[in-house]
Amino acid sequence: MGLKLNIATLLVLLIFTTSAANAQPTVFNVVKKYGGKVNEDITLPLTNAWKDACATQGGSKVVVPAGTYRLGPVQLNGPCKSPIELKVRGTLQAPGDLSFFKWGSWVSFLRVDQLTLSGNGTFDGQGKSVWGKYGGALPINIRFDFITNSIIRGITSLDSKQFHLHVFACKNVTLLHLNIRAPGDSPNTDGIHMGRSTRIRIIDSKIGTGDDCISLGDGNQDILIQKVTCGPGHGISIGSLGRYENEEPVVGVKVLDCKLRNTMNGVRIKTWPASLSGIASDMHFENIYMKNVSNPIIIDQVYCPWNQCKAQIPSKIKISKVSFKNIRGTSQTKEAVKLLCSKAIPCENVEISDIDLAYQGSDGPATSQCTNVNPTILGRQNPPACTLK
């Protein structure tokens, strides 16, 4: 009798939980309910729809229907009273004129828990209007600050003026099925840049842009990058690290099952010489395919672009517990593997396993270089591991 009662109770709870999960959120359509119109500015309709949705109990959904709309800079802030979704089915176009921007981003989300951004829509940053014409920082396409327990799914970021997506101080956020596009010569248009975030997943996405496809600054922990196709771009980078005071450790990064084509770099860890102290540890790159990639595998602790630093002073960033496994394809440069560690604090616990990177140049087969590191070497090694110079 007691067992039957327990089973019945569990069934009721299951039905209730399933019904709650399937409960329809309140819909806030920026066209039907807030007066937005195709080919017109919807900054005010979207802002008003977001405010009403954010204040709604029981779940809400802001919908931008199919069509093309102009959108000025918007700040979509929380905290909200319940889970909230922004479903963009159309194309949003940013202002080309920088005078519209009073802060450093176009669309920003701040302090939202259980956010969903979806809809297969396009965020067109209109970057062509400003690339190479203005100095200083330009607006980021989409910014996420202090976002938790959220999912960003199926959107396109096109021609951002600067970074496409910026993720800062976020926790437990999944980004998947993203399409990020800008020309290979577009300046400083990182696909996804992350800082001081935890449990971030970037999965099954395509990124082609003018800078790093994905870049990780300081303070990131428990990061997974999987099934990402990168190119054009500068590759997938951890760093640069060590340039600023009070940087936090980078710990726990996995880059798995990715493809890089015609990129300036492959998988890279970079720190500044003459740096402040720091830590980068537990970083693993596995099952990576590369085609015509310059610098396919690189640890660069003498990263000093445009001679902005004292390159003769070694980096103080401690790099440890790093592995490069099953990385194959073709290199655009002869030196396919470069592990250039700090002479002050050499890299520790580095493993190179099953590397097959072919170089077709007239100056001979691919080579490797290692400084201030004594890696564990396993499996196939093409080029021969750690050729001394």
Residue 165 in any domain: the answer is: yes
Is 373 found in the same domain as 260?
A: yes
Task: From 192, 211, 230, give the residue that closes a domain.
Answer: 211
Is 198 found in the same domain as 240?
A: no
Task: From 211, 228, 263, give the residue that closes a domain.
Answer: 211
Residue 389 in any domain: the answer is: yes
Is 341 found in the same domain as 295?
A: yes
Please count the CA atoms within 13 angstroms of the CA of 187 that sit on its side-chain side: 11
Residue 13 in any domain: the answer is: no
SS3 assignment, position 49 = helix
Residue 244 in any domain: the answer is: yes
* Residues with catalytic roles: 211, 234
Give yes or no for a contact between 206 and 229, defined as CB atoms under 8 angstroms apart.
yes
Residues with Cβ within 8 Å of 178's Cβ and at least 6 positions away in sequence, in order, are 152, 153, 154, 155, 156, 157, 165, 192, 202, 205, 206, 207
Is 200 found in the same domain as 243?
A: no
226: which 2 tokens? 């999987």
Domain count, the chain: 2
Give yes or no for a contact between 91 and 121, defined as CB atoms under 8 angstroms apart.
yes
Residue 51 in any domain: the answer is: yes
Quote the pLDDT of residue 375: 97
CATH number of the domain residue 165 falls in? 2.160.20.10
Q: Give the global pTM.
A: 0.93
Quote the pLDDT of residue 241: 97
Is 111 found in the same domain as 231?
A: no
Helix (H) and strand (E) counts in the chain: 2, 30
Is 351 found in the same domain as 226?
A: yes
Is 386 found in the same domain as 245?
A: yes
Is 200 found in the same domain as 60?
A: yes
Q: List per-residue pLDDT tens for the chain, 389 residues long.
A: 343 434 443 443 343 334 334 579 999 999 999 999 999 999 999 999 999 999 999 999 999 999 999 999 999 999 999 999 999 999 999 999 999 999 999 999 999 999 999 999 999 999 999 999 987 889 999 999 999 999 999 999 999 999 999 999 999 999 999 999 999 999 999 999 999 999 999 999 999 999 999 999 999 999 999 999 999 999 999 999 999 999 999 999 999 999 999 999 999 999 999 888 999 999 999 999 999 999 999 999 999 887 777 778 999 999 999 999 999 999 999 999 999 999 999 999 999 999 999 998 899 899 999 999 999 999 999 999 986 44
Fill in the DSSP letter of residue 100: G
Is 37 found in the same domain as 60?
A: yes
Task: From 181, 211, 241, give the residue that closes a domain.
Answer: 211
Is 172 found in the same domain as 48?
A: yes
Strands 156-158 and 179-181: parallel
Residue 8 in any domain: the answer is: no
368: domain range? 220-389
Residue 21 in any domain: the answer is: no
Residues with Cβ within 8 Å of 288's Cβ and at least 6 positions away in sequence, in order, are 255, 257, 258, 259, 260, 266, 267, 326, 327, 328, 329
Residue 280 in any domain: the answer is: yes
Quote the pLDDT of residue 14: 43
CA distance 355 to 382: 6
Is 171 found in the same domain as 90?
A: yes
Is 233 found in the same domain as 146?
A: no
Strands 297-300 and 236-241: unpaired
Quote the pLDDT of residue 18: 40
Quote the pLDDT of residue 360: 85
Quote the pLDDT of residue 2: 40
Quote the pLDDT of residue 20: 39
